[in-house]
Amino acid sequence: MTGRSILIAGGYGLVGQRIATDLAPDYPVIVAGRHLAQAQATAAAIGHGARGRELDVTVEASIAAALEDVAIVVSCIDQPKRGLLHAAIARGLRYTDITPHLTEVGRGAAYEQINAAARTSGARVVLGTGIVPGISSVIVRAIVERLGGAETIETSLLLSAKDAAGPASFDYLLQELTMPFTVHINSEDRPAHAFSEPRVIEFPAPFGPRPAYLFPFSDQVLYPRTLGARTVLTRLALEPAGLARLLAASIRVGAMHLLEREGVRHALVRRRPRRAPGENTRFALRVDVTHDGRSAHATLLGRAQADAAAAGASGTVRSLMADEVSDPGVWMPEQVMNPSRFFSHLARYGLIVDDVPRD
């Protein structure tokens, strides 16, 4: 690794801009994307010497040119065939991303292949550094360290339908509604569907108890490998709660097959509810872990999921720049992130982890 700059792919998007704004005062930042003029305009608005650069992750030559003089790559976009990830590994760079589709690279033969390549090249890769996985993963690590292990890990995320999530994030949610997946219970994989099997979760105030539904966040298929958990479940709750009930009912009657059509999803992305000026939206996160007859949980409350995802990613970048991820390879946050330092970084943005042990 010979470069010094941090390249943010999708750096003019909702989350990417926030990451760039956080890092630019301290590091050389490159805002990258397919539209060079937009990247340059965003970089100029951020200031602190930030630069714009063209990057098309579907073109190998564009990737190669964009990675000149780069030390760390932050991906805020969904990548076909993970070309940017593989290019960063081949060059021995440091890499992190906030994209949620990690199951295909986080386990099995695909993981073994990229992990071996990273160890050979010296690349340090931390996958999944948004909210879930990401912030939730570091919270899990903190609880597991206190309990001495984990048999059961349950993560529940509550989002507002009016939150200022980017279109890619909303499209991801719509895609996942239609996809069957497996849940890991007592060391066995069982078939499941999104927005099924509701359970009332006690979220922090002002939300309180809310029904949360099974949802295929990537960390649930990774914790059995990274932490040895026997049961892992992830759930999603929506505000208003009536929207979640409508989605659950639509899935039960088979109406969600329409979302498999890309055109339908894109139309919904354009028409999704927006936060009114001055309107206060929030998200909430709760993590529960049990081990050897003991249990503990922690919660987090935030105002906007884009802000939290950016804070999680920028905290990971700072750890990578400070050589806190010492060993080459492909890692998940719960394997390599220091909870104390990471939570201190989150606190700068008003994101306080409320850690409540119980017997």
Q: How far is CA 353 from the centre of its chain?
A: 17
- Backbone phi, then psi, for 95, in 5-degree steps? -150, 140
* Domain covering 5-127 in this structure, CATH number: 3.40.50.720
Q: Return the H-helix or E-strand segment holding 200.
A: strand 199-202
238 three-class SS: strand
The predicted structure's pLDDT at residue 274: 52
Q: What is the biggest distance separating any 2 CA atoms in the chain, rounded to whole angstroms?
A: 57
Domain boundaries, the chain: 5-127, 135-306
Exposure of 295 by Cβ count < 10 A (0-12 exposed, 13-18 middle, 19+ buried)?
middle
Question: What pTM did the predictor assign?
Answer: 0.89
Q: Under a CB-based contact definition with an 8 Å cutoff, are residues 17 and 307 in contact? A: no
The predicted structure's pLDDT at residue 170: 55
- Backbone phi, then psi, for 3, in 5-degree steps? -80, 175
CB atoms within 10 A of CB 228: 12
> What secondary structure letter does DSSP report for 227?
T
What tokens does 28 get?
């050389």
Instruction: Report domain 135-306's class.
Output: alpha beta
Q: Tell me how far apart the alpha carbons of residues 160 and 173 are, in angstroms, rounded to a whole number.
A: 13
The predicted structure's pLDDT at residue 104: 64
CB atoms within 10 A of CB 121: 16
Can you list the residues of the chain whose pLDDT is less than 50?
Answer: 1, 166, 258, 264-272, 275-279, 359
- Backbone phi, then psi, for 65, in 5-degree steps? -70, -40
The predicted structure's pLDDT at residue 95: 97
Nearest to 292 by CA among 183, 146, 155: 146
What tokens does 94 get?
């440091």
